[in-house]
Amino acid sequence: MPSAFVLGVDLDGTCADFYNGLRPIAAEWLGVPADSLTSEVSWDLPEWGVARAPGGYPKLHHFAVTQRDLFRVLQPMPGAPQALRQLSDLGVRIRIITHRLLIKNFHRVAVQQTVEWLDGHDIPYWDLCFLADKSAVGADLYVEDSPRNVAQLRAEGHPTIVFTSSTNRHLAAPRADTWDEVLRMVTARMGRRPARTRHAPLRPARRSTRSTRPRS
């Protein structure tokens, strides 16, 4: 069978509304009103003062996932499940690539919550990859919000769409502000691919996962 068009998709800040989901949990952990934490954040959340709290971001992250089920309760970005279902029906092989195993000793919880979230929102995927170096996982096109990951992917020659957030407005196009725009950009990219690589739509194996420990 001809090879599928592979779309490498980030989760937090791209498919899942990470910062809005984390904000009330961070407010509880910091002991401040939620409305005192701005929604206009930069990477590592200096605006919230997380680094000044005991344990910094790693402790907040551990609390959010293990005590407040962060990865299970996040809301999807508007239109993300619907766009990914449309792309899957077009034959796109959706490869979820996330660095959610960044803290040791709670990988099982993070993986379980991630799979339940994906399936609970009916988001189709063929591969589920947990690793920091996203360029190590092949894809024809990536959708990513992390400035560092975008820079690395592009430096290594991987076409990457920036999914817009307050953390990455300084990055160059191509970028998408909505999942409708992602859908249009991906289908346009597929149209420029050689015809011999296209194929009939494939159905994903919903619970088949691939887990890779992040680099230390």
| Structural domain boundaries in the chain | 6-16+76-197, 18-72
What is the total residue count of the chain? Answer: 216
Please check the confidence at residue 130 and state whether its pLDDT lies above 60: yes
- Residue type at 59 in one-letter notation: K
Maximal CA-CA distance, the chain: 58
Topology at the third CATH level for domain 6-16+76-197: Rossmann fold (3.40.50)
End-to-end CA distance of the chain: give it in Å, rounded.
37
**What pLDDT is recorded for position 199?**
37
pLDDT in tens, 166-177: 999 999 999 999
Query: Which residues are catalytic, by number?
Result: 10, 12
Please check the confidence at residue 206 and state whether its pLDDT lies above 70: no
Rounded to two decimals, what is the model's pTM? 0.85
pLDDT band at 119 (very low <50, low <70, confident <90, very high): very high
Q: Which among 127, 180, 151 has a CA at the least distance from the CA of 7?
A: 127
- How far apart are the C-alpha atoms of 190 and 186, rounded to whole Å? 6
